[in-house]
Structure 1
Amino acid sequence: MIVAYGVANLLQSVAAARTTVHHTFDPGLLLRLAGHRTYLVGVACQVLGFVLAFMARRDLPLFLVQASVAAGLGVTAVLGVLLLKWRLPLAELALLVLLFAGIAALVISAQPAPSRPLGPAGLVGLIVALGVIAVLGFFAVRLHGAPGSVALGSLAGMAFSAAAVAARPLASVHSTAEFFRDPLLYLLIIHSIVGQLLLGLAMQRGSTTAAVAAMDAAGAVPAAIVGLLLLNDKIWPGREWLAAVGFLITLASVIGMTRYAEPQHHHAVAARRAGARPAPTPADRR
Structure 2
Amino acid sequence: MLFGLVMALAAALFFGVAMVLQALGAQRHSPAADGSGLLGTVRAMVNLPFAAGLLLDGLGFVAQLIALRSLPLYVVQAALAGALAVTAVLGAAMLKIRLGRAEWLGVAGVCVGLAVLGATAGAEGHRQPSTAFHWMLLAAVAVIAAVGGFVWRLREPLRAAVMGALCGLGFGVVGLAVRVLPAVHGMDLVPLLTDPATYALLAGGAVSFVFMTEGVRGGKVTTATAAMVLGETALPAVLGVVLLGDRTRPGMVPLAIAGFAVAVAGALALARFGEVTPVPEAAAADEPTRVG
Q: Give the TM-score of the pair, scaled to structure 1.
A: 0.83
- The answer to whether 1:124 aligns with 2:135 is yes
CA distance in 1, matches of 2:246, 2:183: 13
Q: CA deviation at 1:24?
A: 7.9
CA contact (8 A) 2:173 2:236 kept: yes
> Aligned-residue CA RMSD in angstroms?
2.6
- The answer to whether 1:80 aligns with 2:91 is yes
Q: CA deviation at 1:171?
A: 6.7
C-alpha change, 1:105 and 1:263, in structure 2 (3 Å) is: closer
CA distance in 2, matches of 1:73, 1:240: 25
CA contact (8 A) 1:61 1:111 kept: yes
Deviations 1:36-62 (CA, angstroms, capped at 9, x unpaired): 111111011011111011011111110
CA distance in 2, matches of 1:89, 1:149: 25
- The answer to whether 1:193 aligns with 2:206 is yes
CA distance in 2, matches of 1:8, 1:230: 31
Q: Which residue does 1:248 correspond to in 2?
A: 261
CA contact (8 A) 1:206 1:263 kept: no
C-alpha change, 1:19 and 1:163, in structure 2 (3 Å) is: same
Alignment of 1:44-193 (within 5 A): 44-113=55-124, 115-170=126-181, 172-175=183-186, 176-177=188-189, 178-193=191-206
More off after superposition, 4-13 vs 164-173: 164-173
CA distance in 2, matches of 1:60, 1:206: 35
C-alpha change, 1:180 and 1:124, in structure 2 (3 Å) is: closer
CA contact (8 A) 2:87 2:274 kept: no
Q: CA deviation at 1:113?
A: 3.2
SS at structure 1 position matched to 2:164: helix
Match of 1:215 among 212, 228, 233: 228
Q: CA deviation at 1:26?
A: 3.7
SS at structure 1 position matched to 2:31: coil
C-alpha change, 1:179 and 1:120, in structure 2 (3 Å) is: closer
How many residue pairs match? The answer is 266
Q: CA deviation at 1:148?
A: 3.1
Alignment of 1:239-278 (within 5 A): 239-258=252-271, 261=272, 264=275
SS at structure 2 position matched to 1:233: coil
C-alpha change, 1:225 and 1:14, in structure 2 (3 Å) is: same
Q: CA deviation at 1:166?
A: 0.3
C-alpha change, 1:24 and 1:141, in structure 2 (3 Å) is: farther
More off after superposition, 220-229 vs 117-126: 117-126
CA contact (8 A) 1:150 1:211 kept: yes
CA contact (8 A) 2:19 2:274 kept: no
CA distance in 2, matches of 1:265, 1:2: 17
Q: CA deviation at 1:214?
A: 2.6
Structure 2: which amino acid aligns with 1:129? A
Detail structure 1 runs of 4+ shifted over 6 Å in the superposition: 22-25
- The answer to whether 1:12 aligns with 2:25 is no
CA distance in 1, matches of 2:274, 2:45: 24
Q: CA deviation at 1:228?
A: 0.8
Q: CA deviation at 1:208?
A: 4.3
Deviations 1:127-161 (CA, angstroms, capped at 9, x unpaired): 33223312332243334444433331121011010
CA contact (8 A) 1:81 1:87 kept: yes
Give unmatched runs, 5+ long, in structure 2.
1-10, 281-292
C-alpha change, 1:36 and 1:118, in structure 2 (3 Å) is: farther
CA distance in 2, matches of 1:266, 1:4: 19
CA distance in 1, matches of 2:36, 2:137: 21
Q: CA deviation at 1:122?
A: 1.0
